[in-house]
């Protein structure tokens, strides 16, 4: 079997990669198992030196890694370069703080000679998506490696070049062979891998549909898991919002990675009193984003990553319009080569429409008009997802009150949702469970061991 890559900006075939055979996958597991035993003997501070070296390597390879992301999945190159830098910042964070994050603890009220220590579990299997080829891999790998585990990464099949380039970066940074490995394979070997006793944990970022069967397999095998899944992130513009700030931030949030991100704002819940003013400003900001060649640093919106993704998105828009949504901007694929879709704004979005009920993975914004703050919160929570949310208001007291009511893993006030190395990241409901990053990510795959008397 082979993995075939295509340039989303042109639709042209890029390269063909041979998939790893089952025997090669088995050898990778054995190698990871052996390498992890040595890696676990290093102190957290010693592991941190490798992360510092990796940060330097990522920065040295920034343009090459960004170019690969741009050509393989269509990410605008300026955003791709920022993604590599953000990944390097994460490596620096764990280089500095791993020893502190894993330091033994003495719980309040525990016996004097009691302590809690954090020990690695072994080899972790990571299944990662295509939309952030560098960041997703680094976000999964570094906290997991920091706690003494090894990691096998099955990256998305449309970005094998990016995956292999990352593996080389780890090796050039001096990370021992076997500690971080790429598996070039489809989904067929996953059930056997998850059941393998040498695989001690599973992490997956992707759609809810992709995550649920993997979570079932992990549960059946009694393996801990971290699942960062889909999101239909609401952005609430309340009656006292700074509408210029809200419109600009919401447009930026909707078009991150050409709208292909779990934490992109997707549902724009607007109080009726400010609806007209918000729509006018928001459409103007969406219109101002340049669409075009993702290799051009001036481009803000590139193509969707695959033809089937564009087809699905357009079907969702078409269904929503057929059921009564109005198009304020865009509304369809752009002519010419590649998988481009016009930045689109729909208003009058209601339950029963795909734009209301489903995650829109592309540059399409759904405006939902509500009466007041209470209805805004109710609508924001009326979803099976719970990854993140934004609130726009001039009142700090109101922001705190609303944030406390929103069912989400993170809430940002007057800003858009994003991840950061020091803060826990993840969702609730169908957006998954477990947390990445910060101390929470470092301890996601550890044995939290109680020791008394030693």
Nearest to 169 by CA among 130, 124, 129, 137: 137
Question: How would you classify the pairing of strands 114-120 and 123-127?
Answer: unpaired
Residue pair 422/437 in contact (Cβ under 8 Å)? The answer is yes
Q: Give the CA dihedral 190, 191, 193, 196, nearest 10 degrees.
A: 170
Neighbouring C-beta atoms of residue 31, cutoff 10 Å: 17
Count of CB atoms situated within 10 Å of the CB of 14: 17
Number of CB atoms found within 10 A of residue 309's CB: 18
d(CA 71, CA 9): 8
**Active site includes 250?**
no
262 is catalytic: yes
Order of strands across the sheet with 432-433? 180-182, 150-154, 123-127, 199-205, 225-228, 432-433
Give Rg (Cα) of the chain.
22
Q: What's the rounded Cα separation, in Å, for the pair 115 and 172? A: 37
Catalytic residue among 19, 72, 83, 228: 228
Q: Cα separation of 223 and 32, whole Å?
A: 17
Q: Which of 250, 262, 279, 436 is catalytic?
A: 262
Q: What is the DSSP code string of 166-234?
A: HHHHHHHTTPPTTSEEE----STTHHHHHHSTTEEEEEEES-HHHHHHHHHHHHHTT--EEEE----EE
Residue 28 neighbours by CB under 8 Å, 6+ apart: 20, 152, 181, 183
Q: Active-site residues: which are they?
A: 228, 262
């Amino acid at each position: 079997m082979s993995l075939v890559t295509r340039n989303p900006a042109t639709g042209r075939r890029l390269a063909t990669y041979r998939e790893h055979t089952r025997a090669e996958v088995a050898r990778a597991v054995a190698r990871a198992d052996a390498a992890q035993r040595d890696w676990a003997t290093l102190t957290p501070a010693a592991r941190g030196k490798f992360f510092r070296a990796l940060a330097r390597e990522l920065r040295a390879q920034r343009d090459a890694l960004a170019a690969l992301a741009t050509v393989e999945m269509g990410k605008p190159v300026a955003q791709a370069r920022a993604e590599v830098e953000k990944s390097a910042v994460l490596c620096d964070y764990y280089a500095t703080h791993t020893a502190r994050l894993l330091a033994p603890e003495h719980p309040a009220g525990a016996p004097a000679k009691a302590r809690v220590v954090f020990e690695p579990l072994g080899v972790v299997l990571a299944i990662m998506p295509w939309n952030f080829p560098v960041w997703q891999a680094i976000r999964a790998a570094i906290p997991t490696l920091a706690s003494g585990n090894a990691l096998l990464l099955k990256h998305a099949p449309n970005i094998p070049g990016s995956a292999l380039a990352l593996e080389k970066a780890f090796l050039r940074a001096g990370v021992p062979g076997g500690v971080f490995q790429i598996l070039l394979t489809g989904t067929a070997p996953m059930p056997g891998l998850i059941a393998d006793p040498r695989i001690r944990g599973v992490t997956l970022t992707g759609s809810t549909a992709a995550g649920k069967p993997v979570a079932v397999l992990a549960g059946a095998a009694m393996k801990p898991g971290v699942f960062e899944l889909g999101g239909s992130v609401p952005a609430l513009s309340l009656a006292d919002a700074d509408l210029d700030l809200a419109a600009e931030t919401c447009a930026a949030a909707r078009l991150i990675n050409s709208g292909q991100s779990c934490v992109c704002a997707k549902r724009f819940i607007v109080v009726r009193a400010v609806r007209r003013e918000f729509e006018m400003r928001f459409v103007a900001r969406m219109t101002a984003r340049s669409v075009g060649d993702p290799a051009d640093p001036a481009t803000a919106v590139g193509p969707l990553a695959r033809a089937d993704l564009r087809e699905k998105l357009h079907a969702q828009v078409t269904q929503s319009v057929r059921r009564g949504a109005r198009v304020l901007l865009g509304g369809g694929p752009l002519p010419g080569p590649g998988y481009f879709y016009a930045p689109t704004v729909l208003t009058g979005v209601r339950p029963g429409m795909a734009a209301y009920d489903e995650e829109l993975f592309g540059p399409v914004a759904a405006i939902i008009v509500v009466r007041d703050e209470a209805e805004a919160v109710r609508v924001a929570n009326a979803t099976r997802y719970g990854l993140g949310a934004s609130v726009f208001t001039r009142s700090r007291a109101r922001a705190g009150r609303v944030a406390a009511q929103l069912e989400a893993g993170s809430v940002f006030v007057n800003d858009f949702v994003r991840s950061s190395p020091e803060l826990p990241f993840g969702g609730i409901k169908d957006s998954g469970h477990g947390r990445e990053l910060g101390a929470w990510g470092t301890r996601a795959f550890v044995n939290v061991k109680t020791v008394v008397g030693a």
